[in-house]
Structures are given as C-alpha cells and as structure tokens.
Amino acid sequence: MNLKELPKYIEGLMPIAKIPLTWDSMGYTSASFNKWVSEQSFTGWEGDLPTEEEAAVIVKLLEVKPEDSLLDIACGYGRHDLLFAGRYGLKVMGIDISPGLIETAKRFAKEQGLKIAYEVKHGRELKWQEEFDYAIIVFNSFSLFSPEDAPVVLQGIHKALKRSGRLFMDLDNKPFNCRYGTSYQDWYTWPGGLTLQEVYFHQDISVEVCRDLGLNTESNQVEKFISFKRIYSKNEICELLSECGFRIDKIYGGWDLSPLEQDSPKMVLVGLKSA
C-alpha cells in the first residue's frame, strides 16, 4: 500500500466508536508490534515528565532505600528501571506482556552494565510471595487491564509485596476526561513511516479506545494496533485498592504533586499494603 491508497483504506475501517471492547484483541503481543519495538531506540519515548524527573518523584514518594527491591509491572523498555538500579541502587524486577519491549529492556540494561531481571509476563500472572519492598505501575498502564483482570493484578501485587510494602501508580483522572473528553484523531511521523492515531472515550462506561494505524513507507506495510483503557475516578480506584488489601497513603493531581481536583488530568498515588 502506498500513501495514495491510504485514505481509501482508512475510509473502509470500522468507526472507532463501534469497535468491540475485547481486551484480548490488544496488539502488544503481535509479532509485527514486537519486531517494531525491538528495533527502536526509544530515546524520545517519555511520559508526562522526563524519565529522570518521574523516577525522582517515585523514589521520593516511596521513600526508597538502596538495596531494597522493586517490582515494575508493565515496565515497557525499562526506562525507569535503568535509573532505579543505576542511580538509586535498587534491585529491580521488570515484567511486561510484550516480548519486544522486554528484549529492548534487557539490551538497554546490558549496555549500561546493570543487573536488572526481566520476564515476559502478564500482570495477572504474579506468583511472588512477599519478595518486594515496592511495586510500581506507571504510564497509565494499570488502565490497560480489563475490569476482570484489574483486581487479580492488585491481589498479585499485594502478595508479592513484603509487609508494609508500597505501591506507586499514575492514572488518568475520570472527571477530567468526562468534562473535556479525550476523543481525537492525529497524525505522527517516525523514522520510516507515519501513524494515524484515533482515540475515542466512551463516557457511559469510562473506557477509552485507541487505534494506531501505522504505514511503513519503506515496505509499504500497514500495521494496526488497538488498545483499551478503563478510566478511574478517585473513589473507584481507592475502593478497588481497599478491596485488594491496600490503603491510600498519598494521592495527588499529577506528577507535580499538586492537590487532586476535578480538573486534574492525572492521579498519582501511593498505596500501602495493609492486610
């Protein structure tokens, strides 16, 4: 497919608002996605803040100590883990569902001479028993777990943490999404291609659908990735954490640690293992 044929192809796609909400159809385990991510340098893939600043916030709120252990769920390519292990002296275990991202994370750790353990694993498959001082789920990744998997993930984290262990999370803030909406369509360019990203927010069920349609201009191949996010309110996430054995220690309206308000785009929180 070439650029001239792309508009007709897009026109024939199912409207994003009508895509069935089936979490198992997400593209993070597909061969094409993993080949793509394993070839990237990701030097520009950051979160809400530069990675160094995000890591500093996490370290501050978790009150970490050198030689303590940290579990990074949905670790991606390990951008925070490199700092946790290299700068802050933590023993890090990272898991992600994407083989390509884990391959890239291992490569980056090796290049920096860091001993970081990585496994390809879904968050619902945690089997550790009181092995970690801290756990984190960042980049809004907890929202990627289906409503059925979300409590299973938290229960697994609860078991994996030592007594009084701490969990750090960042999430989109539901009142902000409901007020301002997150439905949009935009084009992005990257080395060797371009991507059309479409996002649609189902307000009635608080689920965001994202479809990325990427055209590799070198091979003329089109790749399509779909993901779903459950958007939580403060009360919803606090209730879920409580049901899974955590109590909220700190909660903010973003990485700048401002107060959480209706207009806050993000929630940043720390939960303590309490049972």
- The whole-number average pLDDT for the span 242-270 is 98
CA angle 133, 138, 142 (to 5 degrees): 100
Q: Is residue 90 part of a domain?
A: yes
Same domain, 132 and 17: no
Q: Which two tokens stand for residue 260?
A: 């959480």
Q: Is residue 135 part of a domain?
A: yes
Which whole-number Å values give the CA distances from 126 to 94, 113, 119, 160, in the listed order?
A: 12, 27, 11, 7
Same domain, 165 and 110: yes
Q: Residue 200: what pLDDT?
A: 94
What phi and psi, each to the nearest 5 degrees, are found at residue 156?
A: -65, -40
Highest-scoring range by mean pLDDT, 71-75, 98-102, 145-149 = 71-75
Q: Which one, of 99, 92, 43, 53, lies nearest residue 71 by Cα?
A: 92
Give one DSSP letter per residue of 73-104, joined into a string. ET-TT-HHHHHHHHTS--EEEEEES-HHHHHH
Same domain, 160 and 252: yes
Q: Which one, of 23, 29, 30, 244, lies nearest residue 143 by Cα?
A: 23
Would you tell me the crossing angle of helices 99-111 and 79-86 to the nearest 10 degrees?
30
Q: Is residue 39 part of a domain?
A: no
How far is C-alpha 267 from the geometric centre of its chain's CA atoms?
A: 14
Same domain, 187 and 167: no
Same domain, 68 and 197: no
Same domain, 104 and 195: no
Based on the structure, what is the number of domains in the chain?
Answer: 2
Buried b (16+ CB within 10 A) or exposed e, 240-264: bbeebbbeeeebbbbbeeeebeeeb
- The whole-number average pLDDT for the span 149-163 is 98
Band (46; pLDDT cuts 50, 70, 90): low
- Residue 15 belongs to domain spanning: 3-27+175-230
CA distance 55 to 63: 12
Strands 91-96 and 246-252 come out as unpaired
Q: Is residue 45 part of a domain?
A: no
63: domain CATH number is 3.40.50.150
Q: Is residue 223 part of a domain?
A: yes
Q: Residue 161: what pLDDT?
A: 99
CA distance 59 to 247: 19
Q: Which one, of 123, 105, 104, lies nearest residue 115 by Cα?
A: 105
Burial of 141 (0-12, 13-18, 19+ CB in 10 A): buried
- The whole-number average pLDDT for the span 175-199 is 86
Band (1; pLDDT cuts 50, 70, 90): low
CA distance 142 to 149: 10
Q: Is residue 41 part of a domain?
A: no
pLDDT, tens digit (0-9, with 9 covering 90-100), for 162-182: 999 999 999 999 999 999 877
For residue 5, is pLDDT > 80? no
Q: Within 10 Å of residue 197's Cβ, how many Cβ atoms?
A: 15
For residue 29, is pLDDT > 80? no
pLDDT, tens digit (0-9, with 9 covering 90-100), for 205-251: 999 999 988 887 777 888 788 889 999 999 999 999 999 999 999 99
Q: Is residue 74 part of a domain?
A: yes
- The whole-number average pLDDT for the span 76-85 is 95
pLDDT, tens digit (0-9, with 9 covering 90-100), for 93-108: 999 998 888 999 999 9
How many helices and strands, by DSSP H and E, does the chain display?
8, 11
Same domain, 261 and 156: yes
How far is C-alpha 240 from the geometric centre of its chain's CA atoms?
A: 18
Contact indicator for 245, 273 with CB cutoff of 8 Å: yes
Q: Is residue 101 part of a domain?
A: yes
